[in-house]
């Protein structure tokens, strides 16, 4: 039987930390926190252009207006979500649901940890790291590679060009045919080759 190596301990540590946080905070607080971050990004992305218009009389540089509008909306949404999270924590505390909430938080934490590991492996597979000997010796990586592959397959073809260097120039149509093969690595080109 193979022995765990440092990368295995690191990946298992990510999952364990996520589980501990899930137990400590409980499912509802974790869910609201995650939903708040997603909402903050979406709200800032969707409404930052309109918010930047209101900053025009005060800030003349358009890029600074855009950054401040995005950041301001993002932080305001995070703050409001944090207040909702505090209220939910008080309700859970007074209703006696904390045991159930923490148990479901454990499950949520384990799933979140697995997703984080999958995302890390997906990103790592876009580099030469899978060819390293430690990657091949890892005990845990083979268990999470199918998840990383599945996550990669869920990325819209148009977005693959932004994260995968190979094939974007050779994509024949915007619809995504002839897009890069999974986890391909393109050698760097010099200015003379262009």
Total-model pTM:
0.64
Among 22-36, 67-81, 168-182, where is mean pLDDT lowest?
A: 168-182
pLDDT at residue 178 above 60? Answer: no
- Concatenated DSSP letters of 98-117: HHHHHHHHHHHHHHHHHHHH
pLDDT at residue 95 above 70? Answer: yes
| Domain segments of the chain as ranges | 6-154
Closest CA to 152 of 176, 185, 125: 125
Tokens 């599945």, residue? Answer: 150
**Residue 23 near residue 105 (C-beta atoms within 8 A):** yes
pLDDT at residue number 93: 79
Q: Distance between CA atoms of 35 and 14, rounded to whole angstroms?
A: 21
Q: Distance between CA atoms of 8 and 17, rounded to whole angstroms?
A: 14
pLDDT at residue number 173: 38
What percentage of the chain has pLDDT greater than the value 90? 40
Task: Quickly count: other Cβ atoms within 10 Å of residue 114's Cβ.
Answer: 17
pLDDT in tens, 12-35: 999 999 999 998 888 888 889 889
């Amino acid at each position: 039987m193979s022995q765990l190596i440092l990368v295995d301990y690191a990946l298992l540590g990510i999952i364990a930390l996520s589980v501990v946080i899930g137990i400590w905070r409980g499912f509802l607080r974790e869910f609201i926190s995650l939903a708040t971050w997603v909402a903050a990004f979406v709200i800032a992305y969707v409404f930052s252009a309109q918010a930047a218009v209101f900053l025009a009389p005060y800030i003349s540089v358009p890029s600074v207006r855009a950054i401040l509008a995005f950041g301001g909306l993002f932080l305001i949404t995070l703050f409001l979500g944090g207040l909702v999270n505090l209220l939910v924590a008080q309700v859970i505390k007074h209703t006696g649901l904390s045991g159930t909430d923490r148990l479901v938080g454990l499950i949520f934490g384990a799933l979140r940890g697995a997703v984080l590991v999958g995302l890390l492996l997906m990103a790592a597979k876009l580099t030469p790291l899978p060819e390293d000997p430690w990657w091949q010796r890892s005990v845990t990586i083979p268990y999470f590679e199918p998840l990383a592959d599945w996550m990669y397959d869920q990325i819209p073809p148009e977005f693959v060009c932004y994260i995968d260097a190979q094939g974007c120039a050779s994509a024949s149509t915007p619809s995504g045919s002839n897009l890069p093969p999974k986890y391909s690595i393109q050698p760097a080109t010099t200015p003379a080759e262009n």
